[in-house]
Amino acid sequence: MFKWLEKNLPKIVMAPAVGLIGWFVYGFVLWTLYISFTNSKILPKYELWGVGQYIKLWGSRKWLIAVDNLLIFTALFLIFCVVIGIILAIFLDQKIRAEGVLRTIYLYPMALSFIVTGTAWKWILNPTLGIQKMFIDWGFENFTFDWLVNREMAIYTIVIAGVWQSAGFVMALFLAGLRSVEDEIVKAAKIDGANLFTVYWKILLPMMRPVFFTSFVILVHISIKSYDLIVALTQGGPGISTTMPALYMTQTAFHKSQVGLSAASAMMMFMAVAAVIIPYLYSELRRENAR
Amino acid sequence: MKTLKIEELSKNFGSTEVLRKINLEIDEGNFLVLLGPSGCGKSTLLNIIAGLETINEGNVHIDDYNVSKVEPKDRNIAMVFQSYALYPSMNVRENMIFGLKQAKVSKEKIEEQLEKVSKFLQVDALLERKPSQLSGGQRQRVAIGRALVREPRIFLFDEPLSNLDAKLRVEMRREIKKLHQQLKTTVVYVTHDQTEAMSLGTNIAIMNHGVIQQNDTPENIYNKPSNTFVADFIGSPSMNLIKGNLKESSNKVSFVTHGSNIEIPINGYDFKEKSNLDNKEVFFGIRPEHIFFKKSNEEDFEINLRADLSEYIGHEQIMTFNFENQEVLAKFPSTVKIDLSKNTKLFFDLTQISLFDAKTEERI
Amino acid sequence: MQDKIHSSYKQLEQKSKYTNLFLRWFLYFVLVVFAFYFIFPLYVMVVTSLKTMEEIRQGTLLTWPSGLNFDSWLVAWGGRGYGAGDTFLKPYFWNSIKMVVPAVFFSTFIGAMAGYVLTKWRFKGDKWVFLFLLFGCFIPYQAILLPMARTLGVLGISNSVIGLVLVHTVYGIPFTTLFFRNFYVSIPSELVKAARIDGAGFFKIFFKILLPVSTPIIVVTIIWQFTQIWNDFLFGSTFSFGEAAPIQVALNNMVLSSTSVKEYNVDMASAIIAGIPTLIVYVLAGKYFIRGLTSGAVKG
What's the CATH architecture for B4-233?
3-Layer(aba) Sandwich (3.40)
The answer on C178 and C55 residing in a single domain is: no
> SS3 of A242, please?
coil
Using CA atoms in the order A69, A71, A76, A82, what is the torsion angle rounded to 10 degrees?
Answer: 140
Q: What's the confidence (pLDDT) of residue C76?
A: 83
**Does A111 touch chain C if contact means CB atoms closer than 8 Å?**
yes
In angstroms, the separation between the Cα of residue B116 and the nearest Cα of chain A is: 19
| Partner-chain contact C9 B71, CB within 8 Å | no
The answer as to whether C85 is a domain residue is no
Closest residue by Cα to residue C238 from C225, C230, C248:
C248
**Residue A160 CB partners (closer than 8 Å, separation 6+):** A121, A125
Q: Structure pTM?
A: 0.85
Answer whether residue C83 shows pLDDT above 70.
Answer: no
pLDDT at B222: 92
Q: Which of B60, B62, B70, B75 to mutate to test the interface with C (most CBs of C within 10 A)?
A: B70
Same domain membership, residue C175 and residue C28? no
Q: Does the domain spanning B240-357 belong to CATH 1.20.1250.20?
A: no
Nearest CA in chain B to C12: B70
In a domain, C74, yes or no: no
Comparing CA positions, the residue from A164, A149, A114, A166 lying closest to residue A237 is A149
Best probe of the C interface among A9, A11, A25, by most C CBs < 10 A, is A25
Question: Smallest CA–CA separation between A276 and chain B, in Å?
Answer: 25
C113 and C36 both lie in a single domain: no
Q: Residue B50: which of A182, A191, A195 has the nearest Cβ?
A: A191
The complex's ipTM works out to 0.86
* C77-103 average pLDDT score: 81
Among A143-147, B60-64, C4-8, C106-110, the range scoring the smallest mean pLDDT is C4-8
Indicate if C149 and C291 belong to the same structural domain.
yes
Please state the rounded mean pLDDT for residues B185-200.
92
Look at chain C and report how many structural domains it folds into: 2
A286 touching B (Cβ < 8 Å):
no
**Are residues C137 and C298 in contact, defined by beta-carbon separation less than 8 angstroms?**
yes
B193 C-beta neighbours (distance < 10 Å), count: 16
Q: Which subunits have 3 or more CB–CB pairs within 8 Å of chain B?
A: A, C
Contact A116 C44 (CB under 8 A): no
Last residue of some domain: C69, C98, C113?
Answer: C69
Domain boundary residue, one of C69, C100, C124: C69
* pLDDT tens string B76-124: 899 999 988 999 989 999 999 999 988 888 999 999 999 999 988 888 8
**Looking at the predicted structure, is the pLDDT value of residue C11 above 60?**
yes
Split at pLDDT 50, 70, 90, the class of C6 is low
Domain stops at, among C69, C99, C125: C69
> What is the Cα–Cα distance from B118 to A241, expressed in whole angstroms?
63
Sequential DSSP letters for A59-76: H-HHHHHHHHHHHHHHHH
In a shared domain, residues C175 and C44:
no
Q: What is the pLDDT of residue C82?
A: 65
Does residue C156 sit in the same domain as residue C50? no
Instruction: Using DSSP, state whether C186 is helix, strand or coil.
Output: coil
Q: Which of A3, A36, A104, A112 to mutate to test the interface with C (most CBs of C within 10 A)?
A: A112
Chain B residue with CA closest to C3: the answer is B65
Q: Which of A96, A111, A232 sits opposite C282 (nearest CB)?
A: A111
B21, HSE (Cβ side, Cα atoms, 13 Å):
1
- Closest by Cα among B300, B296, B258 to B279: B258
Mean pLDDT, residues C277-298 taken together: 78
Distance (Å, whole) CA B200 – CA B339? 39
The answer to whether residue C292 sits within a structural domain is yes
Q: Is residue C77 part of a domain?
A: no
Cα(C1)–Cα(C102) distance, integer angstroms = 80
Residues C105 and C239 in one domain: yes
Highest mean pLDDT among A136-140, B235-239, B271-275, C84-88: B235-239
**Residue B320: band (very low, low, confident or very high) from pLDDT cuts 50, 70, 90:** very high
Chain A residues inside the 8 Å CB shell of B90 = 202-203
Q: Which residues between 116 and 155 in chain A have a beta carbon less than 8 angstroms from any beta carbon of chain C?
A: 116-117, 119-124, 129-131, 133-134, 137-138
Choose among B52, B73, B89: nearest Cβ to A192: B73
Domain boundaries in chain B?
4-233, 240-357
Query: B112-131 in b/e burial notation, b at 16+ Cβ within 10 A?
Result: ebbeebbebbebbebbebbb
> What residues in B contact C2, CB-CB < 8 Å?
63-64
Q: Are residues C227 and C274 in the same domain?
A: yes
Residue of C nearest to A10 (CA): C117
Asked if pLDDT for residue C10 goes beyond 80, the answer is no
Task: Give the C-alpha separation, C109 to C179, whole Å.
Answer: 12
**Is C224 part of any domain?**
yes
Q: Is A71 exposed, middle or buried (0-12, 13-18, 19+ CB in 10 A)?
A: exposed
What pLDDT is attached to residue C299? 34
How many Å from the N-terminal Cα to the C-terminal Cα in chain C? 66
pLDDT of B129-145, one tens digit each? 999 899 888 999 999 99
Residues C30 and C173 grouped into a single domain? no
Q: Which of A115-124, B16-25, B346-355, C248-257 has the lowest mean pLDDT?
A: C248-257
| In a shared domain, residues C267 and C209 | yes
Percent of chain B at pLDDT above 70?
100
A119-123, A160-164, B218-222, C254-258, range with the lowest pLDDT = C254-258
Provide mean pLDDT across the span C224-233.
92
User: Does one domain contain both C143 and C278?
Assistant: yes
DSSP B239: P
Note whether C6 and C102 are same-domain residues. Answer: no
Per residue of chain A (291 residues), give pLDDT as tens: 677 877 788 888 888 899 999 999 999 999 999 988 888 887 777 777 888 889 888 988 899 999 999 999 999 999 999 999 999 999 998 888 888 899 889 989 988 999 999 999 988 888 888 888 888 888 777 777 878 888 888 899 999 999 999 999 899 999 988 988 888 999 999 898 888 888 999 999 999 988 898 888 889 988 988 898 999 888 887 888 889 999 999 988 888 888 889 999 999 999 999 998 888 888 877 776 665
Contact between A222 and A235 under an 8 Å Cβ cutoff? The reply is: no
Close Cβ partners of B359 (under 8 Å, ≥ 6 residues apart): B281
Which CA distances in Å does C86 have to A37, C95, C257? Answer: 44, 17, 10
Among the partner residues A17, A107, A116, nearest to C110 by beta-carbon distance: A17
Share of chain C above pLDDT 70, in %: 89
pLDDT at A269: 92
Sign of CA dihedral B40, A182, A167, C284: negative
What contacts A81, CB < 8 A, 6 or more positions away? Answer: A162, A163, A166, A167, A169, A170, A215, A219
Please tell me the predicted confidence (pLDDT) of residue A291: 52
pLDDT band at residue C300, thresholds of 50, 70 and 90? very low
Range of the domain at C109: 90-296
The enclosing H or E element of A7 equals helix A2-21
Whether the bond between C102 and the residue before it is cis, its omega within 30 degrees of 0, is: no
Q: In what order do the strands lie in the sheet with B4-13?
A: B16-26, B4-13, B57-62, B65-66
DSSP annotation of A254 reads I
Q: Which residues have a Cβ under 8 Å from the Cβ of B194 and sit 6 or more positions away?
A: B35, B233, B234, B235, B236
Question: How confident is the model over C20-39, as a mean pLDDT?
Answer: 89
Interface touch A225/C281, C-beta < 8 Å: no
Q: What percent of chain C has pLDDT over 90?
A: 29
User: Which member of A182, A193, A202 has the closest CB to residue B85?
Assistant: A182
Domains in chain A with CATH codes: 37-290 (1.10.3720.10)
The pLDDT tens digits of the residues spanning C94-126 come to 999 999 999 999 999 999 999 999 988 888 888
CATH number of the domain where residue C281 is located: 1.10.3720.10
**CA distance, residue C103 to nearest chain A CA (Å):** 14
Among B215, B210, B186, B162, which Cα is nearest to B45's? B210
Contacts of C234 in chain A (CB under 8 A): 227-228, 246, 250
What's the rounded mean pLDDT across residues B322-338? 87
Q: Is C298's pLDDT higher than 60?
A: no
Q: How far apart are CA C50 and CA C71, in angstroms?
A: 8
The pLDDT assigned to B277 comes to 79
Residue B42's nearest CA partner among B157, B210, B203, B193 is B210
Q: Could you tell me if B117 lies within 8 Å of chain A, comparing CB atoms?
A: no
pLDDT: which is higher, C9 or C219: C219
pLDDT of A286 reads 76
Q: How many CB atoms lie within 10 A of CB A6?
A: 11
Give the pLDDT of residue B340: 85
Q: Is the peptide bond before A245 cis (omega within 30 degrees of 0)?
A: no
pLDDT mean across residues, chain B: 89
CA of C110 to nearest chain A CA: how many angstroms apart?
7
